[in-house]
Amino acid sequence: MRLHLVRHPATILGQAYCYGSSDVAVAPAELASCCARVSPSLPQGVPIVSSPLQRCAGLAKVLAQTLDSEEPTFESGLQEMDFGSWELRAWDDIAWNEVEAWNSDLLHYAPGGGETLVTVAQRVWAVFDSLRRGGDEQAIVICHGGSIRMLRACAAWHAGRDAGALPDAGAMEAIALQAAADRCEIGFGEVVTLEADALPGKPG
């Protein structure tokens, strides 16, 4: 199947602050501008799946109307990483030794006491696998920069494997590390197309 991954619009908070799981708003003018930019490159009438955080959900709802799609489905597994006590703090105010501790153990260190990268990989994989089993040829996914990198890592791990293959613990760690190594810049409102082998939907 083909997934059209869309990063949410820029928020009112700006990039100087850490906001992963925090529900940060988007200015109405920015939302309208983002919708106008991305909608011409997206297919009409296909399912839309979104992170429930308002910076994604708002765009998903507007795009559903613009593209003549059904109401979006919201998946908590697509949320950005939870940074715990780092949330809503300026990056410059976070102690460097904490950042270095994370860099030294990307897989298992939970920044700010929030989530580990492996935990994020597990929940994003669950959404990826559900989309593959849904039986749709295309879907639009509105989410976050980290979620997009994780979805790309899920698809890369799965490429060339049997359609029903599931990652074990070691494979999940490999997916998490591949996402962390993905340094490709993903702009606000950018559309990333991803091909993923689909499984037929479950009967009934």
pTM higher than 0.75 for the full model? yes
Whether residue 204 has pLDDT greater than 80: no
Spatial separation of the C-alpha atoms in residues 7 and 108, rounded to whole Å: 26
Q: What is the CA radius of gyration of the chain?
A: 17
72-81 per-position pLDDT tens digit:
999 999 999 9
Going by C-alpha positions, the residue among 88, 90, 81, 144 that lies closest to residue 114 is 81
Tally of residues, the chain: 204
H-type helices in 67-168, by residue range?
96-104, 117-133, 145-158
Question: 199 pLDDT band (50/70/90 cuts)?
Answer: low
Q: What is the identity of the amino acid at 164?
A: G
Cβ neighbours of residue 112 closer than 8 Å, sequence gap 6 or more: 83, 84, 85, 86, 87, 94, 98
116-164 per-position pLDDT tens digit:
999 999 999 999 999 998 889 999 999 999 999 999 999 999 987 888 8
Whether residue 88 has pLDDT greater than 80: yes
User: Contact 111/85 with Cβ under 8 angstroms?
Assistant: no
Spatial separation of the C-alpha atoms in residues 53 and 79, rounded to whole Å: 7
